[in-house]
Amino acid sequence: MIPVRGYEGARVAILGLGRSGLSAAHSLEAGGAQPVCWDDNEAARAKAEEYGLEVLDLAREGAFEGIACLIVSPGIPHLYPQPNRIVAAAQAAGVPVDNDIGLFFRSFAGAEWNDFDQPPRVIAVTGSNGKSTTSALIHHILREAGRDAQLAGNIGRGVLDIDPPEDGGAVVLELSSYQTELARALTPDIAVFTNLSPDHLDRHAGLGGYFAAKRRLFAEGGPDRAIIGIDEAEGRFLAGQLSEGAADDRVIRISVAEKLTGPGWQVFARKGFLSEYRKGRQAGSIDLRPIKGLPGAHNHQNACAAYAACRAMGLAPRVIEEGMRSYPGLPHRSQVIAEAGGVTYVNDSKATNVDSALKALQAFGSIRWICGGLEKEGGLSALAPALENVACAYVIGREAAHFAMQLEGIEAQVCTTMAEAVRRAHADAQPGDTVLLAPAAASFDQYDSFERRGEDFAACVAAALGSGQ
């Protein structure tokens, strides 16, 4: 646990008692603060009381008298589409609003660091797609290289639940826009921006607000090294803002769309080969094609980002390559769950938006594509470049018929349920095919999370293979 510093003896309100809220409460207590907790969910309040935490209705009049700060869980809006009523009350009372990420950065460094030979470092990863894989890959490579490393944030442990770092240790954080937009302290040593595509637009009042939330990690965080994916205009803009010139190697540009040249520091992947260039000369290369845990161009972009971060941490190219080769991949992210009769079954349930689904479709050949769910804004037209890889689409979800109508130029079968989609895809698949779950939609019309959807897919595949249908 990381005890929260700076609130000794103060009353600090916490809104939302999920993982991050409860973790913040315990860390505040450990640092000498007095947490005051609230959640609209009665069961969540009861759980907090079981832990001995004070529960107080923060919506009542005068609730913020004597409160030093309000800590808000990531899912609770503080500005758009409209502020939560309790957040609005805190703002009206002049009470600062923060989150667990802000508490972490203000509390991470301890007095024991004075005795360390190398201070611990924080690598923070944000972007639209690939954050989890990039974060987990960096963590895996560091651990394989013998470094003390912990994985936290949107993946792994809560940021305040981690152990105090050791001499020379590293903490790898996956950070969403919900986390970066509100944190009052953001001071990573290395910050990574993978890419940007439309997502959470209602929460951020449009693409500009969404990008601004990501940009805070760099503009306000002031990292020593910034690793920027420049395959979109926003990434190129951000790299230009942070750099003092073409030779400024504090900014490492990454790409899977083009070969990068120039006097600076670049990492790019073309046709399955990763290359690192510094000062106009090649400094390292890796053949990514045989690495099963990183299939497709989108994972090659993740590999470029992780490679750059590990190089910034001082690891040699061959050490990084060894770590990549042993990387098993993450559940629900281009995860090979079965191979039978020449057919590969891949679970990419995390492909919850059109951009991530497009990348999944581009990673494989002849595809039996299971898709559908709760559609996000923008429609499905952006998937067109990859539909030539699709032999047939098997559409699930409550609005499966409407989803299928948008898939022009390919056969699309309305299945509604996962079990029926897997049954049909399995029956139709030929040797060389890939049965791919890449929904291009949220899961909440049928499942409470993308993980549950992926687990259902895996169970249905196991049932189909076991029955021999």
For 320, how many CA atoms within 13 A lie in the half-sphere containing its CB?
26
Q: How far apart (Å, rounded) are the C-alpha atoms in residues 304 and 127?
A: 14
Q: Is there a binding annotation on residue 299? A: no
Q: How far apart (Å, rounded) are the C-alpha atoms in residues 270 and 227?
A: 18
Residue 62 tokens, joined: 């005068």
309 within 8 A of 265, measured Cβ to Cβ: no
Q: Report which secondary-structure segment, H or E, holds 396.
A: strand 390-396
125 within 8 A of 173, measured Cβ to Cβ: yes
Q: How far apart (Å, rounded) are the C-alpha atoms in residues 349 and 452?
A: 9
Handedness of CA 305, 310, 311, 312 (dihedral sign): positive
Burial of 51-63, coded b for 16+ CB within 10 Å and e otherwise, reads eebebbebeeeeb
For 258, how many CA atoms within 13 A lie in the half-sphere containing its CB?
9
Residue 209, Cα to own-chain centre: how many angstroms? 18
Phi, psi of 335 (to 5 degrees): -90, 120
Residue 9, classified by CB atoms within 10 Å of its CB into exposed (0-12), middle (13-18) or buried (19+), is: exposed
Q: Is there a binding annotation on residue 326? A: no
Q: Is there a binding annotation on residue 131? A: yes
Residue 198 tokens, joined: 């439309």
Of 362, 394, 356, 395, the C-alpha closest to 376 is 356
Residue 405 tokens, joined: 């109508």
Q: Is there a binding annotation on residue 353? A: no
Q: Is there a binding annotation on residue 271? A: no
Q: How far apart (Å, rounded) are the C-alpha atoms in residues 47 and 64?
A: 23
Of 173, 33, 186, the C-alpha closest to 99 is 186
Q: Count CB-CB contacts under 10 A for residue 378.
A: 14
Please give the annotated binding residues for ATP, written as ranges.
127-133
Please give the annotated binding residues, written as ranges.
127-133
